[in-house]
Structure 1
Amino acid sequence: MARMTREESQALTRAKLISVAQTLFTRDGYAATSLDQIAETAGFSKGAVYSNFEGKEELFLEVLEEHGRLSLSGILAVVNSAQSIDDAIERIAQWSEKSSRKGNWPTLILEYSRQAKPTASFRKSQEKVLRAQWRALGEQLLNLDDTPATKKLAPETVGALIFELTYAPAMSFVSQPTSGDLLRVALRGVFGSANP
């Protein structure tokens, strides 16, 4: 078996740290999760954390970006497999109901914002990431409907609607209506769907 290069080893260490950090952050929260816990749980020294990340905030942001990438790829696969706009709406609603209950993301992000007090540059970089995700989702969904009314819609707005209703903080605490219920109503209104 070939020996790993230093870059391959560091990439594996980094991926393991991100995975463990995600588990701990979503289970215990931002404030209660320490770099010592992350390193110990991952089976590394705290030095391994610092050789990959400047600190807790940078590691959390990597966890958040990874969650965003996985969410986007999941929802794009759902939309891509849809045969019609009505089919896409139903698939999005089902995806949303599953996703809105995983990981306590809304509360975690709010806690992070209060604890870390992100800088203006962080806010700008996060806005850029979010807008790109919203746009990618909105463009794919709008491609399923070629009516004149939807051609006027901004893809970013459509994507934001889906992600924001899915990950709204209230969805962590209520059982009805679900995020899927809200998305069915909103998207049917946006796309003039014939389904009730």
Structure 2
Amino acid sequence: MTRLTRSESQALTRLRLLKSARELFRRDGYAITSLDRIAEAAGYSKGAVYSNFPGKEAIFLAVLEAETGENLRDLLARLEMASNLPEIVDILAEWADERSQFGGWSLTILEHARVARGKDSLRRQEEIVRGQWHKLGAWLLARFPEADAEPEVLGALLFEIAFAPALTFVAAPSAGDLVRLALPPLLTR
């Protein structure tokens, strides 16, 4: 078996820590998830966490950036395959319905915002979230330039529908229903 280089080993450790942190933050929330629990779930010591991240807020923000980035890349890849407005609306409605099943993640993001210790951490969280809003809105406006909306506002609307915590425990309307209602009139002005 080939032995990993030091940098490969460090990258693997970081990846495992992020994976464990993602699962714990998603399942248990921000406050309950500790660095000890992340290290234990990944099979490392707390020192391994500190050699990769300065603290809990840093690992949370790394998870948030990875989670939202992957989510948006997958969505945009699906959207690229659509050829018209009804197909785009259907893809976004399906995405919203899928995302609304993960209400715990949106609550974790809100929980972090409530208990974050520093303004830099909150600013970074806002940058990550707003960046995702902007990318989704910009993609839609590139396809529908006649729409009268700012990219960030359009993306924010869709993310807020998809990740609304209340939609995780009500039968109707679904997040997809709300996307189908709100999106077509915005894009076809």
Pair 1:122-2:132 in alignment? no
Equivalent position of 1:170 in the other structure: 166
Q: Superposition pairs for residues 141-160 of structure 1, below 5 Å?
A: 141-146=140-145, 148=146, 150=147, 152-160=148-156
Q: CA deviation at 1:39?
A: 1.0
Structure 2 gap segments, 5+ residues each: none
Count how many residue pairs are aligned between Structure 1 and Structure 2: 189
Amino acid at match of 2:141: L
CA distance in structure 2 between the partners assigned to 1:143 and 1:116 by the alignment:
36
Q: How big is the alpha-carbon RMSD for the aligned residues of Structure 1 and Structure 2?
A: 1.8
CA contact (8 A) 1:97 1:166 kept: yes
The alignment's TM-score, normalised by the length of structure 2, stands at 0.91
Q: CA deviation at 1:34?
A: 1.8
Pair 1:136-2:159 in alignment? no
Instruction: Provide runs of 4+ in structure 1 moved above 6 Å.
Output: none
CA contact (8 A) 1:138 1:159 kept: yes
Identity rate, percent:
47
- The worse-fitting range, judged by mean Cα deviation, of 165-174 and 18-27 is 165-174
CA distance in structure 1 between the partners assigned to 2:120 and 2:32 by the alignment:
25
Equivalent position of 2:42 in the other structure: 42
CA contact (8 A) 2:20 2:38 kept: yes
CA distance in structure 2 between the partners assigned to 1:38 and 1:120 by the alignment:
24
Structure 1 gap segments, 5+ residues each: none
Q: CA deviation at 1:131?
A: 2.5
Q: Superposition pairs for residues 97-112 of structure 1, below 5 Å?
A: 97-102=97-102, 104-112=104-112
CA contact (8 A) 1:20 1:38 kept: yes
CA contact (8 A) 1:80 1:140 kept: no
Pair 1:81-2:78 in alignment? no
Distance 1:127 1:114, change over 3 A: closer
CA contact (8 A) 1:84 1:144 kept: no
CA contact (8 A) 1:78 1:91 kept: yes
CA contact (8 A) 1:88 1:141 kept: no
Amino acid at match of 1:19: K
CA contact (8 A) 2:61 2:124 kept: no
Q: CA deviation at 1:185?
A: 0.6
CA distance in structure 2 between the partners assigned to 1:188 and 1:28 by the alignment:
36
CA contact (8 A) 2:144 2:188 kept: no
Q: Superposition pairs for residues 64-79 of structure 1, below 5 Å?
A: 64-79=64-79
Q: CA deviation at 1:103?
A: 5.9
The alignment's TM-score, normalised by the length of structure 1, stands at 0.88
